[in-house]
Structure 1
Amino acid sequence: MTAFRTRLRMSRLLLYTVLVSVTGLFLGPFGWLVITGLKSPGELAASPVHWLPDHIQWGNFAEAFTTIDFLGYARNSLIIATLYATLVTLSSAWVGFGFARLSAPGKKQMFGVLLGSMMLPQIVTLFPTYLIFAKLGMVNTYWPWVLWGLASAPYLVFLFRQFFAGMPRELEEAAIIDGCGYVRIFWRIFLPQSLPVIAASFVIAFTWTWGDFIAPSLLLDTDRTTLAVAVSNSYVNASGAPINNLVAAGAVMYVVPILLIFLVAQRGFVSGAATTGLK
């Protein structure tokens, strides 16, 4: 019995060591970003490298906040990310419901094509999409994100399809007997039951859009662009070279909202990601 407890303690110690190591590996880049944001320009240019700042420069964060219209760009990012995440969550839920509960010729083949589209890089479709939006006069507007949201997203469709496919058939049959159509079944029965997947889908879609750099750079001008583009391009000196400590400070403030959203929705996100794999 004592030997068993010793092995159990050792296995737990090994597991915790691995978890702490992996956590440190993931937090390392963010920690280095914070440290860089607290250094002076001289310390960044010093050789050998100063791992920690000699004098913490909290003013870098204030300067990064005031050098650009930080709140204005953050508002743009928030509008686009919330709009897209809401629309794509609802549209993906509807498409996933159709794949999970409805029967039609060629459904399996269509679902295979949908999954195959996840392997297409964004850059492959972005330039043809830009030409379409330019022809329609939607460049420098937020309409592209509305249309992308209404078109659903393959990965999110897969999440909802997996979740809806595991729900009991009796719920659907009872609703049909009571005279409900599939639209009402979706809104009144299936969607309220899928709150964990909705939370996971919303967080994923919000993160995609908040962190997107390519599409806003291509489709929006300086006044309407997002915080990701502003932080990447705006902190430069008179010669056009980036001011790295301000870039790092701005990047830290740019990442914080995503961390807060994940912490608030963490339980729903994890639950949704776990339940979509159950049948």
Structure 2
Amino acid sequence: MKRYLLSVVFLVSISNLQAQKLQGTSSTGSQTQQFQGMAVYESKTSTADMKSRLSGNKEITPEMQKSIEERMKKMLEKTFILNFDKTASIYKEEEKLEAPGQNNGGFRMMSSMMGGGGTYYKNVKEKTFAVDKEFMGKEFLVKDSLPKLEWKLEGETKQIGGYTCYKATALKPVSQSDFRNFRPKKEEAKKEKPAEKEKKTNFMDDFEIPKEINITAWYAPEIPVNQGPEGYWGLPGLILEVSDDKTVILCSKIVLNSKEKAEIKAPSKGKVVTQKEYDEIVIKKMEEMREQFQKGGGRPTMRIGN
């Protein structure tokens, strides 16, 4: 316990000293300059479970499987830019030139459900967030309180981009509209009656979204802001890496106090809904699509991609 308390005091001391160094003063010495930074993150989500289920589904041809895997890879390997200051940040996917045929509603919808698209704004001082989402051709503005994770500070450290990072873990509630959180159902949950097995035509029936997942984060006290990628925040230093058992978000570049300041502003377009309301809209629509899929004998009613 004594060693743990000394570690906490040490981290707080580092944060205070770094804050004083990074803030600086103006030329007149009467006003503190606003500290700002930019971080680039690479996000990757494993598709091993999906590949396993696809290869075991007799109704999906090898050509279909290859096409699905290529689209999944594009949706699940992304680059994001985080612009942040002491109180707020914006997290946005890096803009890339889309290939012909991919700029359609279905592809954008699935990309959004896999963590891409839109601008994620969070204000850690007010403990609120806002993110614009496009779903089924409609624009939504999800505004809500920032989820507060009960972080457990660990003693383990590692180097990321020249910064000494400390480990923290937490149990995180899962958004039911974030399909990166799909997990294979446990064996006991997949048991079904022979008649039900014959009727099943959707391989996604073998997957589920858990209510909560274990999170591991690595934060740098040398950058004294309690910011991070996506909705992650609340640690005594910028989060440079965060992962669960499927998705890893890793910082690849950091720029502090650049002469060019980014505008950190909350998105404002779209129908305003809470996170719970948005999840319910997505779940309801996906259930409707699933029913249509099954009534059509397993034929999809909406194309994803070209």
**Normalising by the residue count of structure 1, what TM-score does the alignment of the two structures yield?**
0.28
Is the radius of gyration larger for structure 1 or structure 2? 1
Structure with more contact order per residue of length (Cα contacts < 8 Å, sep ≥ 6)? 1
Higher-strand-fraction structure: 2
Q: Structure 2 length normalisation: TM-score?
A: 0.26
Which structure shows the bigger proportion of residues in helix conformation?
1
